[in-house]
Amino acid sequence: MNREITLIVKVTNACNMACRYCFIEPSVFHKTMVNETARRVVRVFLDSDRFESVHFVWHGGEPLLRGRRFFEDILREQRRERTRVAYTNAIQTNATLLDDEMLALLVQNEIAIGFSMDGTKSVTDASRPMRKGPLISTHKITLDAADRLRAHGHAPGAIVVINRANVNNPEQVYREFKDRAIDMKVNPLARSGLAATPGAALDISAEEYGQFMTPHLRCVVRRS
């Protein structure tokens, strides 16, 4: 096992959004990690003689549903004892709960922040709607959060899930991120959870994903 490890810690399966391709099985949406378990995870890795560095990625569902106190508890545990293991923190969030107070906590404690956005407003709002309440543009929520993070001196970045809604428009997806000055990481749709249910209809083939990643070849194919 590598002495440098990235650890994805799912602190809750709950989410206030209803992404049409969510990989979490509906039957476990209610599952949440208790604080004690999170502290044990921290200690197991920071007290280890095996690892030299650990990158903790706090994930969900929507991890910020756990609230400020949960992450303050994690930070206290990381600092409670001296450790020879170097460590960093990151959080993957839909940004809906990223108010100024939470943003300040994350930035001040050097917790890297990752967002999610699938491209243009129409594409993102269609594939990543809110679970309930008034209709809100999740695309705008992400852009607003990116602007606020940039104001703190940090470059925003987001994951784009390649699915049926955007797979045929790689140039459009790229341009949206380029124009918004948001770094992008590309993930193909995993056909599991909600994405595997009848009617989801967002899954793509390996060939389609390959064409998305090599748009210049798409042009060659179309001309031939």
- Closest residue by Cα to residue 202 from 176, 168, 171: 168
Q: Which fold has domain 4-223?
A: TIM Barrel (3.20.20)
Q: Crossing angle of helices 100-108/138-151, nearest 10°?
A: 50
Q: What is the pLDDT of residue 223?
A: 44
pTM for the whole structure? 0.89
Q: What is the pLDDT of residue 221?
A: 45
SS3 of the chain: the string is CCCEEEEEEECECCCCECCCCCCCCHHHCCCECCHHHHHHHHHHHHCCCCCCEEEEEEECCCHHHHCHHHHHHHHHHHHHCCCCCEEEEEEECCCCCCCHHHHHHHHHCCEEEEEECCCCHHHHHHHCCECCCCCCCHHHHHHHHHHHHHHCCCCCEEEEEECCCCCCCHHHHHHHHHHHCCEEEEEECCCCHHHHCCCCCCCCCHHHHHHHHCHHHHHHHHHC
pLDDT tens over the chain, length 224 residues: 789 999 999 999 999 999 998 888 778 888 999 999 999 999 999 999 999 999 999 999 999 999 999 999 999 999 999 999 999 999 999 999 999 999 999 999 999 999 999 999 999 999 999 998 888 999 999 999 999 999 999 999 999 999 999 999 999 999 999 999 999 999 998 776 766 666 667 888 889 999 999 865 554 444 43
Domain ranges of the chain: 4-223
Measure the CA–CA gap between 168 and 42, rounded to whole angstroms.
42
